[in-house]
Protein backbone atom coordinates (compact mmCIF):
# COMPACT_ATOMS: atom_id res chain seq x y z
CA UNK A 1 0.00 0.00 0.00
CA UNK A 2 1.43 3.38 -1.01
CA UNK A 3 2.19 5.99 1.64
CA UNK A 4 1.65 9.67 0.84
CA UNK A 5 2.88 12.87 2.45
CA UNK A 6 1.65 16.34 1.44
CA UNK A 7 3.69 19.37 2.45
CA UNK A 8 3.73 23.06 1.63
CA UNK A 9 5.67 23.58 -1.59
CA UNK A 10 9.35 23.70 -0.60
CA UNK A 11 11.94 26.41 -1.17
CA UNK A 12 15.66 26.14 -1.85
CA UNK A 13 17.62 28.63 0.24
CA UNK A 14 20.90 28.19 -1.67
CA UNK A 15 20.92 27.55 -5.41
CA UNK A 16 23.26 28.01 -8.37
CA UNK A 17 21.53 28.54 -11.71
CA UNK A 18 24.49 29.91 -13.72
CA UNK A 19 23.52 31.80 -16.88
CA UNK A 20 22.88 31.42 -20.59
CA UNK A 21 22.46 27.89 -21.94
CA UNK A 22 23.17 26.30 -18.55
CA UNK A 23 20.50 28.43 -16.88
CA UNK A 24 17.91 27.46 -19.47
CA UNK A 25 18.65 23.75 -18.99
CA UNK A 26 18.81 23.53 -15.19
CA UNK A 27 16.12 26.02 -14.14
CA UNK A 28 13.22 23.60 -14.90
CA UNK A 29 14.86 20.99 -12.63
CA UNK A 30 14.38 23.34 -9.66
CA UNK A 31 11.08 24.95 -10.72
CA UNK A 32 9.47 21.53 -11.05
CA UNK A 33 9.44 21.07 -7.26
CA UNK A 34 10.46 24.37 -5.63
CA UNK A 35 8.47 27.58 -5.41
CA UNK A 36 11.36 29.93 -4.59
CA UNK A 37 15.12 29.88 -4.27
CA UNK A 38 17.90 32.11 -3.01
CA UNK A 39 20.00 32.61 -6.14
CA UNK A 40 23.77 32.67 -5.80
CA UNK A 41 25.49 35.71 -7.37
CA UNK A 42 28.87 34.18 -8.28
CA UNK A 43 28.59 34.62 -12.02
CA UNK A 44 31.46 35.89 -14.15
CA UNK A 45 31.41 38.82 -13.63
CA UNK A 46 29.64 38.59 -10.26
CA UNK A 47 26.30 40.19 -9.42
CA UNK A 48 27.41 43.08 -7.22
CA UNK A 49 24.84 45.86 -7.73
CA UNK A 50 21.09 46.16 -7.57
CA UNK A 51 20.95 46.84 -11.30
CA UNK A 52 22.89 43.67 -12.06
CA UNK A 53 20.62 41.66 -9.76
CA UNK A 54 17.54 43.00 -11.54
CA UNK A 55 18.99 42.09 -14.93
CA UNK A 56 19.87 38.57 -13.73
CA UNK A 57 16.39 38.09 -12.30
CA UNK A 58 14.92 39.06 -15.66
CA UNK A 59 17.12 36.50 -17.44
CA UNK A 60 15.99 33.81 -15.01
CA UNK A 61 12.30 34.59 -15.52
CA UNK A 62 12.77 34.70 -19.29
CA UNK A 63 14.27 31.19 -19.14
CA UNK A 64 11.35 29.76 -17.15
CA UNK A 65 9.33 27.35 -19.32
CA UNK A 66 5.67 28.11 -19.99
CA UNK A 67 3.39 26.64 -17.35
CA UNK A 68 5.98 26.71 -14.57
CA UNK A 69 5.91 29.14 -11.64
CA UNK A 70 9.05 30.05 -9.75
CA UNK A 71 10.28 33.10 -7.83
CA UNK A 72 14.02 33.83 -7.86
CA UNK A 73 15.11 35.53 -4.64
CA UNK A 74 18.13 37.60 -5.57
CA UNK A 75 21.37 38.21 -3.69
CA UNK A 76 24.33 40.53 -4.08
CA UNK A 77 27.95 39.41 -4.09
CA UNK A 78 29.82 41.22 -1.30
CA UNK A 79 33.07 42.85 -2.37
CA UNK A 80 35.34 45.32 -0.67
CA UNK A 81 33.88 48.00 -2.97
CA UNK A 82 30.19 47.24 -2.27
CA UNK A 83 28.17 50.42 -1.69
CA UNK A 84 26.00 50.26 1.47
CA UNK A 85 23.50 52.67 -0.08
CA UNK A 86 23.06 50.46 -3.16
CA UNK A 87 22.50 47.42 -0.95
CA UNK A 88 19.88 49.27 1.09
CA UNK A 89 18.09 50.55 -2.01
CA UNK A 90 17.96 47.07 -3.58
CA UNK A 91 16.63 45.61 -0.35
CA UNK A 92 14.00 48.33 0.08
CA UNK A 93 12.45 47.54 -3.30
CA UNK A 94 12.20 43.85 -2.35
CA UNK A 95 14.56 42.83 -5.16
CA UNK A 96 17.41 41.61 -2.98
CA UNK A 97 16.81 39.24 -0.06
CA UNK A 98 20.41 38.74 1.13
CA UNK A 99 24.06 39.56 0.53
CA UNK A 100 26.56 36.75 -0.03
CA UNK A 101 29.99 36.68 1.58
CA UNK A 102 32.63 34.62 -0.19
CA UNK A 103 36.10 34.67 1.33
CA UNK A 104 38.32 35.29 -1.69
CA UNK A 105 39.31 32.01 -3.32
CA UNK A 106 37.01 29.80 -1.23
CA UNK A 107 35.01 28.22 -4.06
CA UNK A 108 33.86 28.52 -7.68
CA UNK A 109 34.06 32.09 -9.02
CA UNK A 110 35.02 33.57 -5.64
CA UNK A 111 38.09 35.54 -6.73
CA UNK A 112 36.23 38.82 -6.18
CA UNK A 113 35.41 37.92 -2.59
CA UNK A 114 36.49 39.57 0.64
CA UNK A 115 40.08 39.54 1.90
CA UNK A 116 40.00 42.42 4.39
CA UNK A 117 36.83 42.24 6.47
CA UNK A 118 37.37 45.72 7.91
CA UNK A 119 36.66 47.09 4.42
CA UNK A 120 33.09 45.74 4.44
CA UNK A 121 32.23 46.97 7.92
CA UNK A 122 30.00 49.76 6.60
CA UNK A 123 27.96 47.31 4.50
CA UNK A 124 27.50 44.93 7.42
CA UNK A 125 26.42 47.76 9.71
CA UNK A 126 23.83 48.88 7.17
CA UNK A 127 22.57 45.31 6.76
CA UNK A 128 22.16 44.95 10.52
CA UNK A 129 20.24 48.23 10.58
CA UNK A 130 17.75 47.14 7.90
CA UNK A 131 17.57 43.44 8.84
CA UNK A 132 19.03 42.13 5.56
CA UNK A 133 20.61 38.67 6.03
CA UNK A 134 24.25 37.93 5.30
CA UNK A 135 24.79 34.50 3.72
CA UNK A 136 28.29 33.23 4.40
CA UNK A 137 30.44 30.63 2.70
CA UNK A 138 32.03 29.57 5.96
CA UNK A 139 35.59 28.60 5.14
CA UNK A 140 38.94 30.28 5.58
CA UNK A 141 41.33 30.06 2.64
CA UNK A 142 44.67 30.26 4.45
CA UNK A 143 47.10 27.83 2.84
CA UNK A 144 48.27 26.52 6.21
CA UNK A 145 44.74 25.44 7.26
CA UNK A 146 43.80 21.89 6.30
CA UNK A 147 40.82 21.82 3.94
CA UNK A 148 38.90 19.61 6.36
CA UNK A 149 39.36 22.19 9.15
CA UNK A 150 38.43 25.32 7.22
CA UNK A 151 34.86 25.56 8.51
CA UNK A 152 35.74 25.26 12.19
CA UNK A 153 38.56 27.80 11.82
CA UNK A 154 36.25 30.20 9.97
CA UNK A 155 33.79 30.17 12.86
CA UNK A 156 36.50 31.12 15.34
CA UNK A 157 38.54 33.54 13.25
CA UNK A 158 35.93 35.24 11.07
CA UNK A 159 32.28 34.55 11.81
CA UNK A 160 32.18 34.96 15.55
CA UNK A 161 34.20 38.21 15.45
CA UNK A 162 31.94 39.60 12.70
CA UNK A 163 28.80 38.83 14.71
CA UNK A 164 30.25 40.29 17.90
CA UNK A 165 31.30 43.47 16.08
CA UNK A 166 27.93 43.87 14.34
CA UNK A 167 25.10 43.29 16.83
CA UNK A 168 21.81 42.50 15.15
CA UNK A 169 23.36 41.21 11.94
CA UNK A 170 21.26 38.32 10.69
CA UNK A 171 23.48 35.53 9.37
CA UNK A 172 22.89 32.31 7.45
CA UNK A 173 25.76 29.83 7.70
CA UNK A 174 25.40 28.20 4.32
CA UNK A 175 26.02 24.51 3.62
CA UNK A 176 27.42 23.64 7.04
CA UNK A 177 29.41 20.41 6.96
CA UNK A 178 30.63 19.80 10.51
CA UNK A 179 29.38 19.12 14.00
CA UNK A 180 31.23 22.35 14.87
CA UNK A 181 28.86 24.27 12.62
CA UNK A 182 25.83 22.53 14.12
CA UNK A 183 27.04 23.29 17.65
CA UNK A 184 27.69 26.96 16.86
CA UNK A 185 24.18 27.45 15.52
CA UNK A 186 22.63 25.71 18.52
CA UNK A 187 24.64 27.87 20.91
CA UNK A 188 23.34 31.10 19.35
CA UNK A 189 19.58 31.39 19.42
CA UNK A 190 19.14 34.81 17.81
CA UNK A 191 19.80 36.12 14.30
CA UNK A 192 21.53 32.92 13.16
CA UNK A 193 20.42 30.10 10.91
CA UNK A 194 22.10 27.47 8.76
CA UNK A 195 21.38 25.67 5.52
CA UNK A 196 22.19 22.01 5.02
CA UNK A 197 22.59 20.48 1.58
CA UNK A 198 21.08 17.26 0.32
CA UNK A 199 24.43 15.75 -0.59
CA UNK A 200 26.08 16.43 2.77
CA UNK A 201 23.33 14.35 4.37
CA UNK A 202 24.33 11.43 2.12
CA UNK A 203 28.08 11.40 1.54
CA UNK A 204 31.18 11.58 3.67
CA UNK A 205 34.74 11.98 2.44
CA UNK A 206 35.09 8.26 1.78
CA UNK A 207 32.56 8.57 -1.04
CA UNK A 208 34.96 10.92 -2.83
CA UNK A 209 38.17 8.97 -2.32
CA UNK A 210 37.64 5.26 -1.66
CA UNK A 211 37.98 2.99 -4.68
CA UNK A 212 39.13 5.82 -6.93
CA UNK A 213 38.43 9.54 -7.11
CA UNK A 214 34.72 10.23 -7.65
CA UNK A 215 34.58 13.75 -9.13
CA UNK A 216 30.78 14.03 -9.00
CA UNK A 217 30.94 13.79 -5.19
CA UNK A 218 33.56 16.53 -4.95
CA UNK A 219 32.09 19.75 -3.60
CA UNK A 220 33.09 22.76 -1.51
CA UNK A 221 32.91 22.74 1.39
CA UNK A 222 34.24 19.23 0.94
CA UNK A 223 32.40 16.36 2.63
CA UNK A 224 33.89 15.49 6.02
CA UNK A 225 34.13 12.45 8.31
CA UNK A 226 31.14 10.24 9.04
CA UNK A 227 30.68 11.75 12.50
CA UNK A 228 30.01 15.11 10.87
CA UNK A 229 27.53 13.66 8.38
CA UNK A 230 25.60 12.10 11.25
CA UNK A 231 25.56 15.44 13.10
CA UNK A 232 24.09 17.09 10.00
CA UNK A 233 21.39 14.42 9.69
CA UNK A 234 20.45 14.88 13.33
CA UNK A 235 20.26 18.66 12.87
CA UNK A 236 18.21 18.48 9.66
CA UNK A 237 15.71 15.95 10.99
CA UNK A 238 15.59 17.11 14.59
CA UNK A 239 12.94 19.80 14.21
CA UNK A 240 15.16 22.76 15.14
CA UNK A 241 13.85 25.77 13.18
CA UNK A 242 17.34 27.23 12.82
CA UNK A 243 18.23 24.58 10.22
CA UNK A 244 16.70 24.56 6.74
CA UNK A 245 17.25 23.28 3.23
CA UNK A 246 19.75 24.91 0.92
CA UNK A 247 20.74 22.41 -1.75
CA UNK A 248 23.77 24.30 -3.08
CA UNK A 249 22.87 22.48 -6.28
CA UNK A 250 25.74 23.47 -8.55
CA UNK A 251 25.77 22.39 -12.20
CA UNK A 252 29.08 21.81 -13.96
CA UNK A 253 29.47 19.97 -17.24
CA UNK A 254 31.00 16.51 -17.09
CA UNK A 255 33.96 17.81 -19.07
CA UNK A 256 34.66 20.31 -16.29
CA UNK A 257 34.13 17.76 -13.51
CA UNK A 258 36.02 14.81 -15.00
CA UNK A 259 39.37 16.47 -15.53
CA UNK A 260 42.74 16.84 -13.83
CA UNK A 261 41.48 19.87 -11.89
CA UNK A 262 37.74 19.28 -11.67
CA UNK A 263 35.17 21.82 -10.55
CA UNK A 264 33.53 21.58 -7.14
CA UNK A 265 29.78 21.04 -6.91
CA UNK A 266 27.02 18.45 -6.82
CA UNK A 267 23.93 18.84 -9.01
CA UNK A 268 20.98 17.79 -6.84
CA UNK A 269 18.07 19.91 -8.07
CA UNK A 270 16.47 17.04 -9.96
CA UNK A 271 16.05 14.47 -7.19
CA UNK A 272 16.47 16.35 -3.90
CA UNK A 273 12.94 15.92 -2.61
CA UNK A 274 12.94 12.17 -3.24
CA UNK A 275 16.28 11.87 -1.46
CA UNK A 276 15.17 13.98 1.49
CA UNK A 277 12.00 11.97 1.97
CA UNK A 278 14.12 8.83 2.22
CA UNK A 279 16.51 10.47 4.70
CA UNK A 280 13.67 11.68 6.91
CA UNK A 281 11.94 8.31 6.70
CA UNK A 282 15.16 6.55 7.73
CA UNK A 283 15.46 8.89 10.72
CA UNK A 284 11.82 8.40 11.73
CA UNK A 285 11.14 12.07 11.10
CA UNK A 286 8.82 12.34 8.08
CA UNK A 287 6.62 14.68 10.11
CA UNK A 288 9.54 17.13 10.24
CA UNK A 289 10.32 17.22 6.52
CA UNK A 290 7.90 20.07 5.89
CA UNK A 291 9.59 22.26 8.48
CA UNK A 292 13.05 21.65 7.07
CA UNK A 293 12.10 22.04 3.40
CA UNK A 294 9.16 24.45 3.50
CA UNK A 295 8.83 26.29 6.80
CA UNK A 296 12.05 27.08 8.63
CA UNK A 297 13.78 28.98 5.83
CA UNK A 298 10.69 31.04 5.05
CA UNK A 299 10.47 32.02 8.71
CA UNK A 300 14.12 33.08 8.84
CA UNK A 301 13.77 35.19 5.70
CA UNK A 302 10.49 36.62 7.04
CA UNK A 303 8.46 35.35 4.10
CA UNK A 304 5.16 33.47 4.12
CA UNK A 305 5.09 29.72 3.72
CA UNK A 306 3.96 28.78 0.23
CA UNK A 307 0.22 28.17 -0.14
CA UNK A 308 0.72 25.58 -2.88
CA UNK A 309 1.53 22.01 -1.89
CA UNK A 310 3.71 19.11 -2.98
CA UNK A 311 2.82 15.46 -2.53
CA UNK A 312 5.35 12.68 -2.03
CA UNK A 313 4.26 9.09 -2.56
CA UNK A 314 6.18 6.03 -1.42
CA UNK A 315 6.00 3.12 -3.83
CA UNK A 316 8.09 1.48 -6.51
CA UNK A 317 11.56 2.85 -7.15
CA UNK A 318 11.58 6.20 -8.98
CA UNK A 319 13.82 6.68 -11.99
CA UNK A 320 15.54 10.01 -12.58
CA UNK A 321 17.76 10.84 -15.56
CA UNK A 322 21.44 10.19 -14.93
CA UNK A 323 22.35 13.35 -16.83
CA UNK A 324 20.81 16.66 -17.87
CA UNK A 325 21.57 17.76 -21.42
CA UNK A 326 22.55 21.42 -21.69
CA UNK A 327 23.79 23.65 -24.46
CA UNK A 328 27.21 23.55 -22.79
CA UNK A 329 27.39 19.77 -22.35
CA UNK A 330 26.07 17.01 -20.12
CA UNK A 331 25.59 17.56 -16.37
CA UNK A 332 25.53 14.49 -14.11
CA UNK A 333 22.68 14.29 -11.60
CA UNK A 334 23.77 13.43 -8.04
CA UNK A 335 23.56 9.70 -7.35
CA UNK A 336 22.67 9.01 -3.70
CA UNK A 337 23.79 5.40 -4.03
CA UNK A 338 20.47 3.85 -3.01
CA UNK A 339 17.05 3.40 -4.64
CA UNK A 340 14.59 6.28 -4.36
CA UNK A 341 11.07 5.14 -3.49
CA UNK A 342 9.45 8.56 -2.98
CA UNK A 343 7.95 10.09 -6.12
CA UNK A 344 6.95 13.76 -6.26
CA UNK A 345 3.82 15.38 -7.68
CA UNK A 346 2.26 18.82 -7.41
pLDDT, average across residues 278-299: 98
Kindly list the strands in the beta sheet with 342-345, ordered across the sheet, starting from the edge strand earlier in the chain: 3-8, 309-314, 342-345
pLDDT tens digits for 134-171?
A: 999 999 988 999 999 999 999 999 999 999 999 999 99
Q: How far is CA 207 from the centre of its chain?
A: 20
Report the half-sphere exposure of 279 (CA within 13 A, side-chain side).
31
- pLDDT of the residue at 190: 83
- pLDDT of the residue at 111: 62
In angstroms, rounded to a whole number, what is the distance separating the alpha carbons of residues 90 and 74? 10
- pLDDT of the residue at 117: 83
How many structural domains are present in the chain?
1
Enzyme catalytic residues = 248
pLDDT, average across residues 265-278: 98
Q: How far is CA 73 from CA 17, 168, 249, 257, 261, in A?
A: 12, 22, 15, 27, 32
CATH number for the domain spanning 167: value is 3.20.20.140
Burial 129-138 (b: 16+ CB within 10 A, else e): eeebbbbbbb
pLDDT, average across residues 78-98: 96
In angstroms, rounded to a whole number, what is the distance separating the alpha carbons of residues 144 and 134? 27
pLDDT tens digits for 204-236?
A: 999 999 999 999 999 999 999 999 999 999 999
Residue 330 has pLDDT above 90, yes or no: yes
Give the range of the structural domain holding residue 14, as residue numbers without chain letter.
3-345
Binding residues for substrate: 16-18, 42, 137, 220, 252, 264
- pLDDT of the residue at 69: 97
pLDDT tens digits for 175-185?
A: 999 999 999 99
Binding residues: 14, 16-18, 42, 100, 137, 175, 220, 248, 252, 264
Binding residues for Zn(2+): 14, 16, 100, 137, 175, 248
Max Cα separation, the chain?
Answer: 60
- pLDDT of the residue at 109: 56
Which band of pLDDT confidence, cut at 50, 70 and 90, is reported for residue 108?
low
Q: Which residues contact 162 (CB under 8 A, 6 or more apart)?
A: 117, 124, 169, 171
Amino acid sequence: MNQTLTIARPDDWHLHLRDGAMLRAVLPETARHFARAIIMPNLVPPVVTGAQAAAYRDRILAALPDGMTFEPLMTLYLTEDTDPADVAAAAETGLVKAVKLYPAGATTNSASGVRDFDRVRGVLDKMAEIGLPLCVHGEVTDAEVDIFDREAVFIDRVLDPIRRATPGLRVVMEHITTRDGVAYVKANDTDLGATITTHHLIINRNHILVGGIRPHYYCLPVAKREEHRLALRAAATGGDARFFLGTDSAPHTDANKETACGCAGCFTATNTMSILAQVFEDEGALDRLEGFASGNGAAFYRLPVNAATLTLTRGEAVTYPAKIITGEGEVTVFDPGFPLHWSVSA
